[in-house]
Amino acid sequence: MSYYEQYRERIERAMQANRERTYYAPFPENPKAYAEDAAAQALSRFQASMNNDFTELLQEKPLRFEGEEITPYLQTGLGIRYPIFADKLLVQTASKAMDIWRKVPYTERAGILTACLDQMKERFFDIAYATQHTTGQSFMMAFQAGGPHAADRAMEVIAMGMEELSRVPASCIWEKPMGKFNISLQKTWKAMPRGVALVIGCSTFPTWNTLPGVFASLMTGNSVIVKPHPKAVLPIAMVVAEMQKVLNAAGITPDVIQLAPDTQAHPLAWELAEHPDVRIIDYTGNTDFGNRLERLQQSGKQVFTEKAGVNPVILDSVTDLKAVCDNLAFSLSLYAGQMCTAPQNFFVSADGIRTPEGMVSVDAFIELFTAALNNISTHPKMAPGVLATLQQDAQKDRIAQVAAEFSDAVVLASSPFANEEFPDARVASALLLKVDASRTEAYDREWFGPIGVVVCTQSTDESLRRVLDLSRRHGAISCGIYCTDPARVDDMADQLAKIYVPVSVNLTGPIYLNQHAAFSDFHVTGGNPAGNASFTDPLYINRRFVWVGQRFSA
């Protein structure tokens, strides 16, 4: 049985989910859905891997082994070293592998890639510990985002690839009536890959942000080089190793996907991106480097970026202010604000927020908001589980910098919190500022980390104007609106839609601004400065291949 036939039912179900945009999750997110001893065994393997070379890759001719990952929970090095390869050799090998991979029918590619996800599933707990101890996420987030949710996004890409690659028939007989006779041609079409693809990973979500680009390029027949962030290599290294095993078992060269680890002292990203044979680039990370990569599009490369945004929330009127504050406090605190979808700026009219009990002043809102934030940071179990750790010292330094620069505006200071399991963890609770809207220097940029700014405006109309201005200049990946007037909500959402900012309205309970669901939510719109791509929409697939037609006299 072919790989496609083996996984046909799941592929077709994923395609249906993409069309309907309803809930679908092929990989369970609850750890209890897996083997009872899976976590314990994975932890033992993770501990045994420390201070050893990573030798699982099916790649040859490494120059040396290096590694510099530091666990934010222990603040010690993992000691794991990875094979370093010459950039030119990686591209040369990828080019040869692509000539084999592109000839595999796209349906079979879909089956093989789905098999890769099943192989990845066997290591969800390994990936979870690797993600926890490189990114600093809590174990539960590391398990869900690093494993099932990342696999869901990859499956979504496979389904979208199937949709786009099946849009044009492989061949047809074309006949044109010419009166007494017909002209007849046989026409065929091939979806030809653009070239070697480079996927540049980030330090905070090394699989969730990486796999969409990897699977989109592989699905369309391109070979892939994965260049992970040097501080978060292990999770994606495990995934690449498992994918190589599946390819090898399918009789296809594992060089179709290669890992390209590097170090901060000797980075490879730009050298690989500039290589003339690298035609596709996926990138998640800071705006400056993302902008630099986007300029490579002038040389004909296809570049897909997710950069940074300044995510706003407009608070006009609510039905339950405490529930709103609890929701926003969780959103700001989750993974210490180190999510690209985390809210930062909270715009409130000086008149306050309308509630069923009457107007609530800005200061009264801040009192409720800070209480909700404190409820998280002072809870012995919730604090480590929600806030987790700061991935790098840079985030800790940023909190101190902002607190010092705007000391008169601090309404809630950031502080360490207790983590009984990991007493040496690099931790910090949320910092909250309150400023007048005229004090733009406090909120007119992204503060990556657990930093929130309550911005006092003269009216909700001014709040919207400032949100629109910020989003045009800096971009936004998420935006929250709290308003009980449906007509006003429609107007605000429409104005934000015109500048390509997605909106979440009146969220309370266990659904947060941070969350984007595979098969339903488009992650980043691709229309504002926060990024030029959206996964997963058809453009995310179609820019990776070219339809080439051939005509034969029938």
Task: Report pLDDT digits (tens) over 45-58.
Answer: 999 999 999 999 99
pLDDT tens-digit map of 266-287: 999 999 999 999 999 999 999 9
Alpha-carbon distance of 468 to 38, in angstroms, equals: 47
pLDDT confidence band for 179 (50 / 70 / 90)? confident
pLDDT, position 1 = 86
Q: Which residues lie closer than 8 Å to 364 by C-beta, 6 or more apart? A: 352
> Per CATH, the architecture of 312-505 is what?
3-Layer(aba) Sandwich (3.40)
Asked whether 146 and 127 are in contact (CB, 8 A), the reply is yes
The most distant pair of C-alpha atoms in the chain lies apart, rounded to whole Å, by: 89
User: Which amino acid does the sequence have at 223?
Assistant: S
219, 149, 227: which is closest to 518 by C-alpha? 149
The angle at the Cα of 163, spanning 279 to 15, to the nearest 5 degrees, equals: 125
Residue 278 CB: number of other CB atoms within 10 A? 23
pLDDT tens-digit map of 193-221: 999 999 999 999 999 999 999 999 999 99
What is the separation, in whole angstroms, between the first and last Cα of the chain?
A: 34
193, 196, 192, 200: which is closest to 280 by C-alpha? 196
Task: For domain 3-27+41-167+188-307, give the CATH superfamily.
Answer: Aldehyde Dehydrogenase; Chain A, domain 1 (3.40.605.10)
Q: Where are the domains of the chain?
A: 3-27+41-167+188-307, 312-505
CA separation (Å) from 191 to 18, 282, 341, 380? 21, 20, 34, 55
Cβ burial of 261 (10 Å; 0-12, 13-18, 19+) is buried
101, 119, 66: which is closest to 219 by C-alpha? 101
Asked if residue 138 has pLDDT above 90, the reply is yes
Alpha-carbon distance of 224 to 216, in angstroms, equals: 10
pLDDT, position 554 = 73
Asked whether 358 and 467 are in contact (CB, 8 A), the reply is no
Alpha-carbon distance of 119 to 436, in angstroms, equals: 53
DSSP-derived 3-state class of residue 86 = coil
Percent of the chain clearing pLDDT 90 (strictly above): 98
pTM for the structure as a whole: 0.96
